[in-house]
Amino acid sequence: MTQHISPITLQVDLGERSYPITIGQSLLSDPDLIARHVGRRAAIVTNTTVAPLYLERLAQVLAAAGKEVTTIVLPDGEEEKNWASLMQVYDVLLREKCDRKTTLIALGGGVIGDLTGFAAATYMRGVPFVQVPTTLLAQVDSSVGGKTGINHPLGKNMIGAFYQPQAVIADTATLDTLPARELAAGLAEVIKHGAIIDAGFFDWIEANIGRLVGRDPAALAWAVQRSCEIKADVVRQDEREGGLRAILNFGHTFGHAIEAGLGYGEWLHGEAVGCGMVMAADLSQRLGFIEAGAARRIRGLVEAAGLPVVAPDLGLERWIELMQVDKKNEGGQIKFILLRPLGATVIMPVPSEALHATISACTR
Ligand SMILES: NC(=O)c1ccc[n+]([C@@H]2O[C@H](COP(=O)([O-])OP(=O)(O)OC[C@H]3O[C@@H](n4cnc5c(N)ncnc54)[C@H](O)[C@@H]3O)[C@@H](O)[C@H]2O)c1
Ligand SMILES: O=C(O)C(=O)C[C@@H](O)[C@H](O)[C@H](O)COP(=O)(O)O
Ligand SMILES: [Zn+2]
């Protein structure tokens, strides 16, 4: 039996760049909800996996609302979050004579969302865009907050722009078709939101991890809602990461190094972040910021979500080299987001002895 959960709408409060996040089941079939945020023309950007699942439905809903619809289907994968895919988007937009009122719609996970957002930020110096996230990770994190961009072989998300969408429409029914490995990847960012800011939410995730992994609709809906509330509140206070927003990077200094070090797509972003949080918790404990029990809770929850907790052995020198390519760094110093205690954070460089000890203890 499918459980009915009423849709909810949150607001990302950014003055004239404010926008709604609507979360609910079967929103993709709601013509008014989607069409209201789209101009006369729409270009839907998606990939070869998501297109057969949801493209026709979205295109039909928009066409029925009188929109002229162009579709762009990219190859799937983190390794495709690059210049070639971006050029493919520009090529179609130009060939189809899409004007600067055309709304780009990102239909897919975080890769499609980040890339489409960057295409929207740059095509004709900026066109409107709407996020329609279809992975758990995209619904709880990447579709909100306006970080857009692509990877560079030397570093993750190194080319990009802050560019906010007009709206986020998260249809939680799309999670039904998501592979288990991808669901687990999304849970990493949910755990992150609890760990950095809301110890009560962390407790809730611990108590409900079985329901989340088992795709209980009500549990997933709450995880999406609470994550979006937390992220929207951080972004409201620090849209362009002058300071506070960097806490959303907990686990990412290590995680991005894993992704780039192994080659994009080898480990999923969420897997790398999950393991990165275990490493950041280990480092926090070494520096006396959290108790051993708290570090154990992070590791236990990441493991229970189905994520890796032991990092690949890249070699100490390579680890450091990779982490030196990070947008948070200043004056050549690597900065870490640490827990102090669980549910709160501190952002700082660390003594190299502690860092080396963490790398050695957490890799194999
Ligand atoms: N902008 C941000 O704030 C932000 C935040 C977190 C992550 N990210 C970025 O997001 C990306 C990771 O996103 P992701 O985890 O969504 O990966 P993804 O976009 O690669 O999607 C994961 C996989 O699921 C498939 N898929 C998508 N929706 C599906 C569905 N409903 N059913 C079946 N399959 C589906 C995709 O085709 C893909 O194979 C990374 O590039 C990461 O850097 C950005
Ligand atoms: O929104 C943010 O801010 C985040 O840091 C969210 C992260 O989960 C996400 O992976 C983001 O893309 C990382 O940003 P980056 O600036 O470190 O590339
Ligand atoms: Zn992330």
Please say if the pLDDT value at position 1 is more than 60: no
Q: Quick: pLDDT tens for 128-180.
A: 999 999 999 999 999 999 999 999 999 999 999 999 999 999 999 999 999 99
Query: Is 321 marked as a binding-site residue?
Result: no
Catalytic residue among 41, 67, 192, 269: 269
Question: pLDDT band at residue 5, thresholds of 50, 70 and 90?
Answer: confident
Question: pLDDT band at residue 191, thresholds of 50, 70 and 90?
Answer: very high
Q: Quick one: which atom of ligand 1 is closest to the CA of 138?
A: 16
Minimum CA distance residue for ligand 1 atom 35: 178
Please say if the pLDDT value at position 103 is more than 70: yes
Q: Quick: pLDDT tens for 215-239.
A: 999 999 999 999 999 999 999 999 9
ipTM higher than the 0.90 cut: yes
Find the mean pLDDT for residues 47-53: 98
Instruction: Calculate how far, in angstroms, residue 246's C-alpha sits from the geometric centre of ligand 2.
Output: 8
Q: Quick: pLDDT tens for 113-132.
A: 999 999 999 999 999 999 99
Residue 241 annotated to the active site: yes
Residue 249 annotated to the active site: yes
Residue 335 annotated to the active site: no
| 171 burial via Cβ count (<10 Å: 0-12, 13-18, 19+) | buried
Query: Is 335 marked as a binding-site residue?
Result: no
Find the mean pLDDT for residues 295-308: 98
In this predicted structure, what is the pLDDT of residue 199? 98
Instruction: Calculate how far, in angstroms, residue 126's C-alpha sits from the geometric centre of ligand 3.
Output: 24
Domain borders along the chain are 8-177, 180-362
Please say if the pLDDT value at position 86 is more than 70: yes
Question: pLDDT band at residue 296, thresholds of 50, 70 and 90?
Answer: very high
Residue 256 annotated to the active site: yes
Euclidean distance between CA atoms 193 and 178, whole angstroms: 21
Q: Is 102 helix (H, G, I), strand (E, B) or coil?
A: coil
Q: Is 74 helix (H, G, I), strand (E, B) or coil?
A: strand
Instruction: Calculate how far, in angstroms, residue 34's C-alpha sits from the geometric centre of ligand 3.
Output: 26
| Domain at 180-362: CATH code | 1.20.1090.10
Residue 152 annotated to the active site: no
The structure tokens 């607001």 sit at 11
In this predicted structure, what is the pLDDT of residue 3? 60
Catalytic residue among 37, 41, 189, 259: 189
Instruction: Calculate how far, in angstroms, residue 293's C-alpha sits from the geometric centre of ligand 2.
Output: 27
Query: Which CATH fold topology does 8-177 show?
Result: Rossmann fold (3.40.50)
Q: Quick: pLDDT tens for 280-291.
A: 999 999 999 999
Residue 157 annotated to the active site: no
Query: Is 291 marked as a binding-site residue?
Result: no
Question: Rounded to two decimals, what is the model's pTM?
Answer: 0.98
Average pLDDT, the chain: 97
Rg of the chain over CA atoms, in angstroms? 20
In this predicted structure, what is the pLDDT of residue 73? 98
**Does the Cβ of 147 fall within 6 Å of ligand 2?**
yes
Find the mean pLDDT for residues 58-75: 97
Minimum CA distance residue for ligand 1 atom 13: 110
- For the chain, the 3-state helix, strand and coil shares in percent, each to the nearest 5, are 50, 20, 30
Euclidean distance between CA atoms 64 and 253, whole angstroms: 45
In this predicted structure, what is the pLDDT of residue 31? 86
Q: Quick one: which atom of ligand 2 is closest to the CA of 256?
A: 17
As given in the structure block, the two tokens for residue 38 are 């789209």
Catalytic residue among 249, 259, 271, 286: 249
Residue 266 annotated to the active site: no
Euclidean distance between CA atoms 151 and 259, whole angstroms: 10
Euclidean distance between CA atoms 192 and 132, whole angstroms: 22
Instruction: Calculate how far, in angstroms, residue 131's C-alpha sits from the geometric centre of ligand 1.
Output: 12
In this predicted structure, what is the pLDDT of residue 294? 98
